[in-house]
Amino acid sequence: MTQSETHVLQLPEGKRTVVLLNIAYECWAPDRVPGLGPMGNPLPAGVFDHNAASFGDYAWREGIWRLLRVLETRGVKATVFASGRLAELSPGSLLAARDAGHEIAPHSWTQDVIPAVLDEDAERANLQRTLDGLGSVVGRDALHGWLSPRCTPSAVTGKLLAEAGLQWFSDVFDRDAPYRTPETGDLVHLPFTMDVNDLPSYMKHGQPPRRLFETFLDTLAWTDEHETGRAHLDVTVHAHVFGRPYGAWVLDQIARTVAERDDVWAPTRHEYATWFTEHVPA
């Protein structure tokens, strides 16, 4: 797709903006911890950070359940980027998300398994392990796409996803609208945006939770005035970060805003990729 072609995309009737609601539902290997913990400063090399490990475990013990309740209250759907190991740690939460109509999207086996640092055979094995693990809980046919940890693919990630028969791939930041490439055939490259994301805003840069809501409202106001039919905004909260009360209210208010706007389309990524495939010829 050329730059000019992205301008002719027409969203469903009456819709002018796409807002994709995402829950990053992540876990780590038993001997690894989140790179950003609540204390901020790392421990000396070789010392296991039990503080950060406990912080990460909040995702499946508490955070995911609170965020699912928020979405249920507002009647909106999300894409849940799920680590494969959660099939072992908390299969019930994955089933609850699926049964509520949310999309479960493979997000590597654990957050410390990053495609960019794997050779092709190891990456293929990690992809299959993740699909098998999540598929054993929610069903393989419920898995349609992929997001790598820290959105960092390798040079062959797209090719491997296409080989595995997946529908969409979101480790891309170079367009405003979905697109395809000759190298990956029917695989829909569905861009990801980081503007409304709790990890960089709150954890990395120390902004208060309210700033995320303000950024969302400011961006939506801009699209109302200046964009027509192709504005695309991701809203991403992590179950171990904004799954806590201080952040869950932000998702609640964003979900409320989305639910009240007739001109905002809030599909899952599977729904968005399916719409694109149906309306833009290969």
**What pLDDT, in 10s, does the model give residues 238-282?**
999 999 999 999 999 999 999 999 999 999 999 999 999 998 887
216 or 3, which is more confident? Answer: 216
State yes or no: pLDDT of 26 exceeds 60.
yes
Q: pLDDT band at residue 35, thresholds of 50, 70 and 90?
A: confident
What are the tokens at 266? Answer: 């809030």
State yes or no: pLDDT of 1 exceeds 90.
no
Q: Assess contact for 175 and 6: CB atoms under 8 A.
A: yes
Report, as an integer, the average pLDDT of 82-94. 98
State yes or no: pLDDT of 4 exceeds 50.
no
State yes or no: pLDDT of 85 exceeds 90.
yes
Report, as an integer, the average pLDDT of 136-150. 98
State yes or no: pLDDT of 201 exceeds 70.
yes
The pLDDT score that the predictor gives to residue 40 is 73
The pLDDT score that the predictor gives to residue 7 is 44
Q: pLDDT band at residue 196, thresholds of 50, 70 and 90?
A: very high
Q: What percent of the chain has pLDDT over 90?
A: 82
Neighbours of 132 (CB within 10 A): 13
The pLDDT score that the predictor gives to residue 230 is 66
Q: Assess contact for 213 and 253: CB atoms under 8 A.
A: yes
The pLDDT score that the predictor gives to residue 8 is 52
Residue 265 DSSP class: E
Report, as an integer, the average pLDDT of 99-112. 98
The pLDDT score that the predictor gives to residue 229 is 62
Q: What percent of the chain has pLDDT over 70?
A: 96
State yes or no: pLDDT of 27 exceeds 60.
yes
State yes or no: pLDDT of 5 exceeds 90.
no
- Structural domains in the chain? 47-279 (3.20.20.370)
Q: Assess contact for 79 and 46: CB atoms under 8 A.
A: no
Q: What is the pTM of this model?
A: 0.94
pLDDT tens for each residue of 218-232: 999 998 888 876 678
The pLDDT score that the predictor gives to residue 6 is 46
Tell me the pLDDT of the chain averaged across its residues. 93
Strands 103-106 and 17-25: unpaired
Distance CA 247, CA 252 (A): 9
Question: 61: exposed, middle or buried (C-beta count within 10 Å: 0-12, 13-18, 19+)?
Answer: middle
